[in-house]
Structure 1
């Protein structure tokens, strides 16, 4: 939970680097809260109102943490645009996001140490 809150507090911080743990813990809690909101919507008979607002509220932090994760692997944050390519782009992004941290690079020191 602390990793999720760390990303939300660094709301629009596109600079620097994010470790795999920071990125994947953010994604995990993002999905958990999204499922909880979807269940609440289903019980109350709402039509994607809560999940839509939640997704919109966390759009910028999601883009920022993904950019920082790509920086950690030595890539530009603009590489996120590859994810717009159906299927192939998603697979490439998954590979990029799962790779280990690069040593010190142009985006800063290795956050692992």
Structure 2
């Protein structure tokens, strides 16, 4: 549960580090649970366009900052995280040790 709350607590912290587990737990939670629920509710007209957009933004910002913090730990450049699919590949790398 802490891996789902930490991205929201550190939403403005892009200088920290995020573990591999923290990133993937939040990613799976968002992609396989939150997005389908939002899409299903939107399809049934339970949510309006503005609410749907707001919910997606509420989960997008923590995901981006979590990805940037994940790339801090892997010592990669942060800008490629904004490219779809590339961000997932880079986030899957193990942390680099300080020598």
Q: Structure 2 length as normaliser, TM-score? A: 0.80
3-state DSSP class of the match of 2:44?
helix
Q: 1:94 to 1:59 in 2, by over 3 A?
A: closer
Q: Which residue does the alignment assign to 2:15?
A: 15
Following TM superposition, by how much is the alpha carbon of 1:47 offset from its aligned partner in structure 2, in angstroms? Answer: 5.5
Q: Provide the residue aligned with 1:65 in structure 2.
A: 66
CA distance, structure 2, for counterparts of residue 104 and residue 48 of structure 1:
47
Contact 1:18–1:65 under 8 Å retained in 2 = yes
Instruction: State the 1:43 CA deviation.
Output: 1.7
Deviations for 1:47-66, whole angstroms, at most 9, x for unmatched residues? Answer: 64433111212332122101
Count matched residues: 98
> Unaligned regions of 5+ residues in structure 1, if any?
84-89, 106-113
The answer on whether the counterparts of 1:70 and 1:96 sit within 8 Å (CA) in structure 2 is yes
- The whole-number CA distance in structure 2 between the counterparts of 1:75 and 1:43 is 42
CA distance in 2, matches of 1:76, 1:36: 33
Q: Is there any run of 5+ residues in structure 2 with no aligned partner, and where?
A: none
Residues 71 and 78 in structure 2, CA contact (< 8 A), matched pair in contact too = yes
What's the Cα RMSD here? 2.1
The 1-side partners of 2:51 and 2:30 are apart by 13
Rg larger for: 1
